[in-house]
Structure 1
Amino acid sequence: MSARRPELSRRGFLTGSLLVAAGSVLSTACSTDPTGASSSGAKTTLNVWYHAYGEAGTQQAVLRYATAFTKANPDIAVKVTWVPGDYAAKLNATLLTDGAPDVFEIGDFSERMARGGQIAALDDVYGSAKSDFNANAISSVTVDGKLYGVKMIDDVIMLYYRKSVLTKAGITPPTTFDGLVSAAKALTTKKNKGLFVGNDGIGDSPSNAVWSNGGDLVTPDGKVAFGSAQSLEAITALKRLHDDKSLLLGFTTDWWDPAAFTQGVVPMQWCGLWAMPAIADALGDDFGVLPWPAFKAGGVPVVRVGGWTSCVNAKGKNLAAAKKFVKWLWVEQADLQKDFAESYGFHVPPRTSVAATADKLSTGTAKETVELAAKHGKHNPGTWDSAVSSTFNAAAAKIVGGEGDPATLLADAVKKAQSEIDKQLGR
């Protein structure tokens, strides 16, 4: 359930919506406002958007949750809208129109949306349950002391490796970047590549590189930090993976899908905890997990923590009902939060009390992953929107491709990124 999944479907703008009222699905509806809610007794109809999750059963689950909500609140109908393709682009465009959803999820949290008045503060939604959310879930949605979303799931992203393949090759699971480069090269054959980080050969590797060498992307006060000497050193080093031709490029699915790993195309892949059930089904216990390794002595291993956050349209006509829905589902319904985290791929519940009951995450490799996230987890800053991240990744792509002077490319990216962040912060 990664935030970066625009390739899941190209079947059009929306696959459609389902209207739920009085505890049942009444009818299908297109992307315009549904009809029929009044006949069910509902006084308000909420439009709730989800991106098209890749895990089987997720769409049916959110419909089931909506049905349970309308049964408890028959005066509020819910139109569940399932959005395939480039969800972020479609959401951003629709938020500027009268058809904007009342409730919607976002991947990496964006401070721009809060500062721009697009999403409502939800401090009143949390109530006394605020202390039950993990520190990352609270800090990641906090802007100027207010909470602008409720974290639904934490997605943990790390390196998977095939135990048997590495053992046969006499390779110890890498704990340093040098070790990762050497392992990827040694595991590359005429038929297979050693490592998959994304079809573009970039994926999360530039930000991982920065973090792994003790650097940062953006400071808490909004200063671009990825132009540091340690950042430049680590990003430039990624070129070694490309020069060795040990990276899988242009596979049929991207890094968030485990197919390249489960089909034996690569013995190492950057992917998420959500894929672990599918990997276990395909490979049994013949896999392990690792953080992105520390760049060198003094660096730190990296596990990426993303996820999805439920937000309320601050300009919507149904603000009170929208808040009621978010509070009911993502604050009050512990059993549904546990179901969403465990039953459709694996995810970590942001509420500590719910996470403590997540039995499927309490043993084996899943438990190990959760522990790695707690120890080495890094999340993108709230100012890391598409304009900033694309500037950074474009520079990194040129650096690893040998398309210019690395220091100049990174310095130019810092200037552009800082300009974008300054716009966000009104500076």
Structure 2
Amino acid sequence: MHVARARWGVVLAATSVVAVSGCSGGGTDSGAEPGNGTGEITVWAHQGQPAEVDVLQQTIDDCNASQEDVQATLQLIPEADYMRTVTTTDPDELPDVLEYDGPMMASLAYAQKLAPVGDLVSAETLENQTDSVLAQNTYPADGEVYGISQYDSSLGIYGNKALLDAAGVSYPQGLEDAWTAEEFEAALQTLAAADPDQKVLDIKENYGAEWPTFGFLPIVYSAGEQVVEDGVAQGNLNSAPVVEAVERFAGLRQYIDPNTDDKAFVDGRVPLSWVGHWVYNTYDEALGEDLVVLPLPDFGAGPKSGQGSWAWGVNPATENGAAAGALLDCLASDEAVSGMTDANAAPPGTTSVTAESELYQEGGPLELFARQLELTCGDGEPTPDCVAVPRPVTPAYPVISQQFSEAFFGAYDGGDAQELLDSAAELIDLDYQDNDNYGS
């Protein structure tokens, strides 16, 4: 599936250039003018799934109708163009409220395109945010929260119970008995022996955009390493445990379905699919009671998962920060969060909705994802006791994403993992050096 992987590299490279070039001077001390808390405000959002768009527009309409002080106008931008548009637009031309992709928070804050929201939203809104979304939306350099999330994300392996049972493959019941890397490979071998083409795993090779980093960076953390530590990738991203884990994953390629039609799992061609929460509704409809949700394999330091998704922020250039904050309060309400997460099956970004969610509450079909997020590693070093790891919260993230993606799939395509990761680490470190370590 070379076309998809080439497309991944192009998208990430373009994003990294505009994001870093937008950081002239840098700094995260730019707060929004509060204004009088009334009037008209503008809102930008990505045009996601139709169900998400419908819920968002209804939520904005409901927020407007619920009071007379603040009236918000929503503008949707196609998802493929959205972050490029934000990163290439001057702050004075950005809206009062803007949606952003979670891992881009630090880059946007450094470029003074996001303002701290701690003084703009209610204390109740902040207190109700889950620990995992707070980890995503907090800039370590100043400890300020720069966004509010309606939902989070999580990763796992979906399994087709009927096909697993038919092949005699036992599978994990939870985090405590997650497959080791060796057990995962053995399961694939057993499944392949009973499969005509021996392709038994889908890793969404057909995906683009942010998927390569989000989907496979957890392998680095599960190997017991970080991508960067104190602004340095050398000795971390290219360490021996990471190289070994990447080589081990690359060795599984013989079992992976290219999935060019995105139907490998729902059509029953493969019994396992390495992907996130967002496919649950589709997979559940296709498999029903045969659908099981498993943790990612343990590459030595415990199973790990990605986390972080779209969030809402305030433009530092707005003159009506209080009104913008009031809209964020409304977007974080139980009604708004429930509506959105019912539409997209995402883990709720608030503790109150998580507790009541049919999907994510204890005993729900996606309880595993909720538990992974409860065990977030936050902004600390990943340990065997935590599971969900935010993508690196740094203005260097666009470069990290590009370099990791290219190195990982270069190795997957048969390249030398050590050489590829060495090169990636060198270029990431050069970016930090070129930007004075981003002021940290």
- Name the TM-score, length of structure 2 as normaliser: 0.77
**Percent of residue pairs identical:** 23
Shift of residue 85 of structure 1?
4.0
Q: What's the counterpart of residue 286 of structure 2?
A: 282
1:370 aligns with 370
Contact 1:346 1:361 in 2 (8 A): no
Give the total of aligned pairs.
373
1:106–1:311 Cα contact (<8 Å) kept: yes
Q: Distance in 1 between matches of 2:120 and 2:357?
A: 24
Tell me the amino acid that sits aligned with residue 368 of structure 1.
L
- Give deviations 1:287-333, integer Å, cap 9, x for gaps: 1111111114xx21122222221111112354332222112322xx2
Question: CA offset at residue 279 of structure 1?
Answer: 1.8
User: Residue 162 and residue 142 in structure 1: after superposition, are their counterparts in 2 closer, same or farther (change >3 A)?
Assistant: same
Q: Distance in 1 between matches of 2:51 and 2:183?
A: 39
Q: Are residues 1:159 and 2:165 paired?
A: no
- Which structure: greater helix fraction? 2
**Residue 49 of structure 1: SS of its match in structure 2?**
strand
Deviation digits for residues 231-288 of structure 1 (CA, Å, limit 9, x no counterpart): 111112222012xx211225234xxxxx432222321112222322332222111011
Tell me the residue number matched to 1:32. none
Deviation of the 1:159 alpha carbon: 0.8
Change (3 A) 1:270 1:63: same
The equivalent position to 2:78 in structure 1, one of 75, 84, 105, is: 84
Match of 2:352 in 1: 353
- 1:100-111 equivalences under 5 Å are 100-109=94-103, 110-111=105-106
1:28 maps to none
Where do 5+ consecutive residues of structure 1 fail to align? 1-5, 8-42, 254-258
1:59 is aligned to 2:53: yes
1:192 Cα deviation from its structure 2 partner: 6.6
- After TM superposition, the structure 1 = structure 2 runs for residues 24-63 of structure 1, keeping only pairs within 5 Å, are 44-54=39-49, 56-63=50-57
Q: Which residue of 1 aligns with 2:400?
A: 388
Aligned residue runs from structure 1 range 315-326, under 5 A: 315-326=317-328
Question: Which of 115, 119, 130 lines up with 1:124 in the alignment?
Answer: 119
Q: Secondary structure, in 3 states, of the residue corresponding to 1:294? A: coil
Contact 1:196 1:248 in 2 (8 A): yes
* Alignment check: 8 A CA contact 1:212 1:292 kept: no
> Where does residue 74 of structure 1 map in the other structure?
68
Aligned equivalents of 2:83, 2:114: Cα separation in 1: 16
Determine if contact 1:95/1:101 at 8 Å carries over to the other structure: no
| 2:303 alignment counterpart | 301
**Aligned pair 1:338/2:351, yes or no?**
no
**1:1-55 Cα distance to aligned partner (Å, 9 max, x none):** xxxxx99xxxxxxxxxxxxxxxxxxxxxxxxxxxxxxxxxxx844332222222x
Higher relative contact order (CA closer than 8 Å, sequence separation 6+)? 2
Residues 1:213 and 2:223 are matched in the alignment: yes
State the one-letter code of the partner of 1:158.
G
CA distance in 2, matches of 1:115, 1:191: 49
Report the alpha carbon displacement of residue 402 of structure 1 after superposing the two structures with TM. 2.4
Change (3 A) 1:83 1:248: farther
TM-score, structure 1 length as denominator?
A: 0.79
1:180 aligns with 2:168: no
Query: CA shift at 1:406, angstroms?
Result: 2.6
Are 2:250 and 1:248 aligned? no
2:409 aligned to which of 376, 382, 397: 397
Q: Tell me how far apart the structure 2 counterparts of residues 198 and 306 of structure 1 sit (CA, whole Å).
A: 19
Which amino acid is 1:326 matched to? L
Contact residue 91 and residue 317 of structure 2 kept, 8 A: no
Q: CA 1:88 to 1:183, structure 2 compared with 1: closer, same or farther past 3 Å?
A: farther
Q: Tell me the amino acid that sits aligned with residue 68 of structure 2.
A: P
Cα displacement (A) at 1:164: 0.8
Give the aligned residue type for 1:49. W
Distance in 1 (CA, whole Å) between partners of 2:424 and 2:270 is: 32
Query: 1:115 Cα shift?
Result: 1.8
Residue in 2 that maps onto 1:264: 268
Unaligned runs of 5+ in 2: 1-6, 9-37, 173-178, 376-386
Matched-pair contact (CA < 8 Å) for 2:159–2:273: yes
Contact persistence 1:153–1:348 (CA under 8 A): yes
CA–CA distance in structure 1, aligned partners of residues 196 and 95 of structure 2: 50
Moved more, 187-196 or 301-310: 187-196
Q: 1:364 to 1:148 in 2, by over 3 A?
A: closer
Alignment partners' CA distance in 1, 2:359 and 2:291: 17
The answer as to whether partners of 1:391 and 1:416 remain within 8 angstroms in 2 is yes
Structure 2 distance, partners of 1:192, 1:49, is 46
Q: Which residue of the partner structure matches residue 426 of structure 2?
A: 415
Whether the 8 Å CA contact 1:195–1:268 is kept in 2: the answer is yes
User: Counterpart in 1 of 2:109?
Assistant: 114
Q: Single out whichever of 86-95 and 300-309 deviates more from structure 2.
A: 86-95
SS of residue matched to 2:113: coil
Q: Which amino acid aligns with 1:398?
A: G
- Cα offset for 1:134? 2.3
CA distance in 1, matches of 2:226, 2:266: 33
How far apart, in 2, do the equivalents of 1:321 and 1:377 lie?
33
